Amino acid sequence: MDIFRDISSLKKRLYQAKLEGKSIGLVPTMGALHLGHATLIKAAIEENEVSVCSIFVNPTQFNNSNDLSVYPRTLENDTKLLETLGCDILFCPEVEEIYKEKAVLNFDFGHLENVMEGAFRPKHFNGVALIVSKLFHIVDPERAYFGQKDLQQFKVVSQLVQDLSFNIELKCIPIVREDDGLAMSSRNVRLSKEGRIKAASINKMLVKGESLLKQGKLFSDIKDSLLDDLHSQGMEVEYCELVETNALNKINAISRHQLSAICVAVVVEGVRLIDNRIF
Ligand code: AMP
């Protein structure tokens, strides 16, 4: 695997691949890689002649400086995992390489950035759109891989690709879970043993929610009781919404004509976890 820390050598390597007519698949990550990331990387390897994984803990998407400073950084292990998977290129720049000057550009994704994650993490999607745009320009991939785990992020990136005419096919990869159903996340390592067990209730709540909604229940009638179990274990629920998956508008019942998702953000032992279930 070739490892690049600077943009110009990465571009030189990719220019060569492009001259040879090779397709490029990009997987943007913040590292502390787990099997969820590995699924995206495997897809990029299978579907492209050159696979690129970026590892960059992007400061502009963190609205909480403590969250940024405690974000796990495990570059050595990540490199080993990428080697084992057969990834061709790792791009792991320093912050100064990406933000030579402070970025001032402001995106406005309207409703998409004001609900759920956007409401609780002001400017988060602005930072996401900035880094994703930069990576798209630097790597210029045919395909880019994102996880359904960050459903709202996928919607924002889809809007970005559409509005800025990026010629990139976006792939949304289903959520990879631990055996007990907890969505894999780089943040899970910050949980204690007890916190880790508690966190498995998040997925149980989503599964129960789907089942009740499929029985014809209204979300407003079941929401409180769905969240009882999380609250009783001392978890703080930032939001829990039923939305349609197109524009992420809130709905109160599921319909046969469109996909719906329950999206949730929960704080367990000071660790913020998000999850969702589409049906
Ligand atoms: P992150 O490093 O957390 O920014 O995640 C990088 C990419 O991996 C994002 O597109 C995430 O949605 C995706 N991802 C994170 N966790 C999972 C998971 N458990 N299953 C599938 N994809 C995931």
127 lines ligand 1 (CB under 6 A): no
Q: What is the mean pLDDT of residues 7-12?
A: 98
Please name which of 112, 4, 123 lies closest in space to residue 68, comparing C-alpha atoms.
Answer: 123
The mean pLDDT value for 262-275 works out to: 97
pLDDT tens digits, 121-161 = 999 999 999 999 999 999 999 999 999 999 999 999 999 99
Contact 143, 23 (CB under 8 A): yes
Where residue 246 falls among pLDDT bands split at 50, 70, 90? very high
Choose the residue to mutate in 30, 33, 35, 40 for probing ligand 1, maximizing ligand atoms within 8 Å of C-beta: 40
Cα–Cα dist 180/165, whole Å: 41
Note if 37 is an active site residue.
yes
Query: What is the C-alpha separation between 60 and 2, in angstroms, rounded?
Result: 27
Q: Determine whether 142 is exposed, middle or buried from the number of CB atoms within 10 Å of its CB (0-12, 13-18, 19+).
A: middle
| Better-predicted residue by pLDDT, 13 or 67 | 13
Q: Is the CB of 133 under 6 A from ligand 1?
A: no
- Answer whether 242 contacts ligand 1 (Cβ < 6 A): no
Ligand 1 nearest-atom number relative to CA 145: 10
Nearest-5° angle of CA 86, CA 29, CA 18? 55
Identify the pLDDT of residue 234.
95
CA angle 55, 129, 91 (to 5 degrees): 20
- Reported as type and span, the H/E element at residue 15 is helix 7-19
Q: Kindly state the average pLDDT of the residues 172-185.
A: 98
